[in-house]
Structure 1
Amino acid sequence: MTGPRRTRITDRSRHRDRHGRGLRSSAAGPHLPFLRTRVDTFDEIVASTADYLRELWPDDLADVTFEVAGLPARPSGERVERWTIDATARRIVLYRLPIERLARPHESRGPRDDEWLHRSLVEGYVFRAVGDLLGRDPWDLAPERWRDL
């Protein structure tokens, strides 16, 4: 049995209450599932990548907390941070908007290709942040991950 997940997902879209009127209904109607937003997709990719890395490095990442935020609280000079690491608290915070909006555009051949490119982009930043925390090269964290592509 696995322990509790130490990946904190933002609750922005799950607790939307406008002017005290309660949660919104699905835009697709009551009989269809809720639509997946970009925030939900980003959170799921970060959580699954964190779980994958925890399986590979259980001793090093057992007490690390992964968090997702929209933007850094304080900009640091000319560069917009994509992640922040607190080594003493063993915490990694990934910033969704800089990762998604400031990435270089890739050539896309269709919607399935777009999903894969987005997933690989987000996973790459999770790998880089974990590599910074552990003091390792991100490619050394999971050398077999991209071998068959």
Structure 2
Amino acid sequence: MDTPAPPSPAAPGPRPGPRRRDRHGRGMRGPVAPPQVPLSASRAEVFADLVQDSVERLERRWTQLAEIDFLVLEVPRLDPSAADGGWSDDSVPLGGIVPAREGRPARVVVYRRPVEIRTKGRDERAALVHEVVVEQVAELLGLTPETVDPRYGED
């Protein structure tokens, strides 16, 4: 009886393990950029960083901001109980506040999509985010935006 010969080490066939090449043999596919490079940050993460930068800038002057939660939401919610549905076609809010109550801290909310739609680049977006944060903090504290940030409106 003939026994089959063992496969030679150079015999073609599937390779064991998860490593695979693309069909053109150009090598492993991987991420476009490593995680520490800004290219790999999502738009939502970049926007949250802009809000955080603005808050840190204001916290140097207003230490009580440490007790306020700052949130980023995609879009404002419609309030069907309001006469105009919560907001009109002419004005979509860019931010809002939720006063402190029942042991919950006050909240400042910045709406990402309305801000992004109104800006073209990162610098313009950062300026608008800062304006929204300043306006909401001013409303929450019962102050004018110029009091919260003396450079408000100069950009």
Q: TM-score range by the shorter chain?
A: 0.5 to 0.7
Identity %: 25
Which residue in the other structure is 1:13 paired with?
A: none
Q: Does 1:73 align with 2:77?
A: yes
Q: Is the 8 A contact 2:75 2:111 kept in 1?
A: yes
Q: Say which SS state the counterpart of residue 92 (structure 1) adopts.
A: strand
Q: Say which SS state the counterpart of residue 96 (structure 2) adopts.
A: strand
Aligned mates of 2:123, 2:57 — CA distance in 1: 17
Q: Which one of the candidate residues 45, 55, 64 is aligned to 2:68?
A: 64
Aligned mates of 2:107, 2:41 — CA distance in 1: 27
Which residue in the other structure is 1:86 paired with?
A: 98
Q: Is the 8 A contact 2:34 2:40 kept in 1?
A: no
Aligned mates of 2:48, 2:127 — CA distance in 1: 14
Q: Which one of the candidate residues 41, 48, 72 is aligned to 1:36?
A: 41
Which residue in the other structure is 1:127 paired with?
A: 134
Task: Report deviation, 1:30.
Answer: 5.3
Q: Does 1:48 align with 2:64?
A: no
RMSD (Å) for aligned C-alpha atoms = 2.7
Residue 143 of structure 1 aligns to which amino acid in structure 2? P
Residues 29 and 121 of structure 1, relative CA distance in 2, 3 Å threshold = closer
Residues 63 and 97 of structure 1, relative CA distance in 2, 3 Å threshold = same
Residues 77 and 56 of structure 1, relative CA distance in 2, 3 Å threshold = same
- Displaced runs of 4 or more, over 6 A: none
Residues 35 and 145 of structure 1, relative CA distance in 2, 3 Å threshold = same
Residues 73 and 138 of structure 1, relative CA distance in 2, 3 Å threshold = same
Residue 80 of structure 1 aligns to which amino acid in structure 2? V
TM-score computed with the length of structure 1 as normaliser: 0.63
Could you report, residue by residue, the CA deviation over 1:95-138 in whole angstroms, capped at 9, with x for unpaired residues?
A: 1011221x2x67xxxxxxx3322211111111111111111111
* Structure 2 unaligned blocks of 5 or more: 1-29, 80-85
Q: Say which SS state the counterpart of residue 109 (structure 2) adopts.
A: strand
Residues 116 and 77 of structure 1, relative CA distance in 2, 3 Å threshold = closer
Task: Report deviation, 1:36.
Answer: 2.9
Task: Report deviation, 1:72.
Answer: 1.7
* Structure 1 unaligned blocks of 5 or more: 1-24, 107-113
Task: Report deviation, 1:63.
Answer: 0.8
Task: Report deviation, 1:29.
Answer: 4.8
Aligned mates of 2:146, 2:75 — CA distance in 1: 26
Count residues with an aligned counterpart. Answer: 113
Q: Say which SS state the counterpart of residue 81 (structure 1) adopts.
A: coil
